[in-house]
A = this chain, B = another copy of it.
Amino acid sequence: MNAEPEPLAALARLVRGQRIAALGTLRNGAPNVSLVSYLAAPDCSAFWMRLSRLAWHTQDLLQDPRASLAIAERDDGRADPQTLMRVTIRGEALPPDREPSFLKDDWLKKFPESRVTFDLADFSFWRIVPRDVRFVAGLGRTHNLSAADLRAATCRP
């Protein structure tokens, strides 16, 4: 454990406070970044996405599950955008063996407009189980965290 409580609390606030993330996948061996909506598991043990099989990132993940998910504070116009908090979660993105009971309800609470995707055959849930986490709390305040560190935070109220 190389993180004190304060960075973990800030990280949890960041993850709770945002809705969209940048998903990095491999496309023919090259990086491909796209925008996704995400929901964190209550204990930050997984990050859920609802992806269409027709989307490039999903095709990428079906070829190679390695993924990187970056969540950043919204740019509020401050003088130095390098002080914005951001976190990069790396791991494998896979369809779950089964969906946890909270998932559909909590997803729809966060993304009510995505209800239509539950009637479309090409959409399904995917999850990233973090392998490692790089949290930049601000300029020069970088914390390398393990998945276990992250599970000490609370990503949902």
Instruction: Give A contacts to B, CB under 8 Å.
Output: 18-20, 22-26, 29-35, 37, 56, 66-70, 72, 74-75, 79-82, 84, 86, 88, 90, 111-114, 134, 136
CB nearest to A112 among chain B residues? B79
Cα A11 to Cα B61 in complex, Å, equals 27
| A26: chain B residues within 8 A (beta carbon) | 30-31
A66 touches B33 (CB 8 A): no
| A68: chain B residues within 8 A (beta carbon) | 24, 30-33
CB nearest to A34 among chain B residues? B88
Which listed residue, B75, B86, B114, touches A82 by the CB 8 Å rule? B114
Q: How far is the CB of A26 from chain B (nearest CB, A)?
A: 6
Q: How far is the CB of A141 from chain B (nearest CB, A)?
A: 13
CB nearest to A70 among chain B residues? B33
Q: How far is the CB of A49 from chain B (nearest CB, A)?
A: 12
Cα A109 to Cα B101 in complex, Å, equals 50
Cα A79 to Cα B114 in complex, Å, equals 10
Cα A82 to Cα B52 in complex, Å, equals 12
| A67: chain B residues within 8 A (beta carbon) | 31
Cα A136 to Cα B86 in complex, Å, equals 23
Q: How far is the CB of A86 from chain B (nearest CB, A)?
A: 5
Cα A81 to Cα B114 in complex, Å, equals 10
